């Protein structure tokens, strides 16, 4: 019997020290609030350490899309180690390279480059959500 | 590294689900970029979750201030999970209680009240930064 997936979990690295970390956060929020509301849920990544059993069960309750700013892949690795294997792992630097977008500078707030990057990444996350829902 | 070159590491909590996570993150940026840029620094908190050696060294070798969005205390607990004691742990929710007239709203971007709250809170945390810096020098 096929079990229909109703919601997908988005886990963003939300790294504070790199512009891509902020983009991961903003793009994830755009998917949660505008692009796929009702089909997505999220959790603060460090809750896998600071929370309890319920928080750590997140990736077993929802197919999960992780969104990482850089090649360190903090969200993907932490989710796999502490909660469960992600259905799909996205890496922003890779996405932006493919799209020819560069020049991200700001961690705080969004400049024009960060805004474009956030929109492009949000679209990629939405696609990954749709795949997980299929 | 000599103690005079130490910086205070300000770590907000990486919250994405709650306004208070944004408040903590903005307080950290206010300190690092505007109020105390020469004596503070930060790193991505999730690097501690994957036990990144450089991030671990940074928080082990320097005084650490955590700013958590809510009582879960993720930043503080992440630091403690690698065996480091934080010098001072703040919670954004406590700043809200002190300044009840400033109700923050928004996650991607804070409302005006939230922005004012951030500035006031960062000024308070800056005093703690100064205290830690003078302690390191003495
Ligand atoms: S994946 Fe990169 S940007 Fe994201 S938290 Fe880790 S180090 Fe920071
Ligand atoms: S302290 Fe609260 S707001 Fe911050 S990451 Fe943890 S659960 Fe989220």
Task: List the residue whose alpha carbon is closest to atom 8 of ligand 1.
Answer: A15
Residue B35 makes CB contacts below 8 A (sequence gap 6+) with B122, B123, B126
* Predicted confidence (pLDDT) at residue A35 exceeds the cutoff of 50: yes
Domain range for A39 is 8-133
For range A7-15, the mean pLDDT? 96
Q: What is the pLDDT of residue A3?
A: 62
Residues of chain B short of pLDDT 50, as ranges, are 1-3
The atom number, within ligand 1, closest to the CA of A20 reads 3
* Tens digit of each residue's pLDDT (9 = 90 or more) over A47-86: 999 998 999 999 999 999 999 999 999 999 999 999 999 9
> H or E element: which one contains B68?
strand B64-68
Confidence (pLDDT) at B14: 82
Architecture of the domain delimited by B3-129: 3-Layer(aba) Sandwich (3.40)
Note whether A45 and A75 are within 8 A (CB).
yes
- What mean pLDDT is predicted for residues A82-95? 97
Is A2 part of any domain? no
Q: How far is A112 from B1, CA to CA, in rounded Å? A: 38
From the CA of A17, which ligand is nearest?
Answer: 1
Sheet holding B88-91, edge to edge: B40-41, B8-12, B64-68, B88-91
Domain-embedded: residue A1: no
Q: How high does pLDDT run on average in chain A?
A: 94
User: What pTM was computed for the model?
Assistant: 0.94
Reported ipTM: the value is 0.94
Cβ(A124) – ligand 1 distance below 6 Å: no
Q: How many domains does chain A have?
A: 1
| Tokens (6 digits) for B132 | 């830690």
Task: Give pLDDT, residue A1.
Answer: 52
In chain A, % of residues over pLDDT 70: 96
How far does residue B130's CA lie from ligand 2's centre (Å)? 26
A43 located within any domain: yes
Is A82 in the B-facing interface, judged by CB distances under 8 Å?
A: yes
3-state DSSP helix/strand/coil % of chain A, to nearest 5: 50, 15, 35
Residue A67 maps to a domain = yes
The dihedral sign for the CA sequence B82, A56, A45, A125:
positive
State the Cα–Cα distance between residues A76 and A78, nearest whole angstrom: 6
Percent of chain B's residues with pLDDT above 90:
86
A3 within some domain = no
Collapsed DSSP state (helix, strand, coil) of residue A131: helix
Q: Which pLDDT score, from 0 to 100, does residue B137 have? A: 81
């Amino acid at each position: 019997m096929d079990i229909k997936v109703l919601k997908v979990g988005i886990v963003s690295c939300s790294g504070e020290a790199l512009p891509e970390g902020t983009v991961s956060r903003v793009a994830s929020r755009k998917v949660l609030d505008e692009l796929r509301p009702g089909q997505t849920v999220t959790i603060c990544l460090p809750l896998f350490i600071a929370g309890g059993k319920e928080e750590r069960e997140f990736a077993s309750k929802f197919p999960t899309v992780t969104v990482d700013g850089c090649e360190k892949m903090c969200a993907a690795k932490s989710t796999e180690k502490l909660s469960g294997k992600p259905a799909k792992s996205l890496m922003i630097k890779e996405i932006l390279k493919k799209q020819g977008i560069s020049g991200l500078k700001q961690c705080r707030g969004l400049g024009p480059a960060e805004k474009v990057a956030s929109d492009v990444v949000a679209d990629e996350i939405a696609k990954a959500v749709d795949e997980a829902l299929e | 590294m000599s103690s005079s070159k130490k910086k205070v590491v300000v770590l907000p909590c990486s919250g994405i689900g709650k306004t208070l996570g944004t408040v903590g993150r903005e307080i950290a940026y206010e300190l690092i970029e505007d109020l105390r840029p020469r004596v503070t620094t930060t790193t991505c908190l999730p690097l501690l979750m994957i036990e990144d050696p450089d991030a671990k060294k940074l928080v082990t070798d320097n005084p650490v201030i955590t700013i958590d969005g809510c009582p879960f205390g993720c930043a503080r607990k992440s630091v403690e999970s690698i065996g480091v004691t934080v010098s001072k742990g703040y919670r954004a929710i406590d700043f809200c209680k002190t300044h009840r007239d400033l109700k923050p709203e928004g996650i991607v971007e804070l409302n005006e009240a939230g922005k004012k709250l951030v500035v006031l809170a960062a000024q308070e945390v800056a005093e703690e930064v100064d205290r830690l810096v003078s302690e390191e020098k003495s």
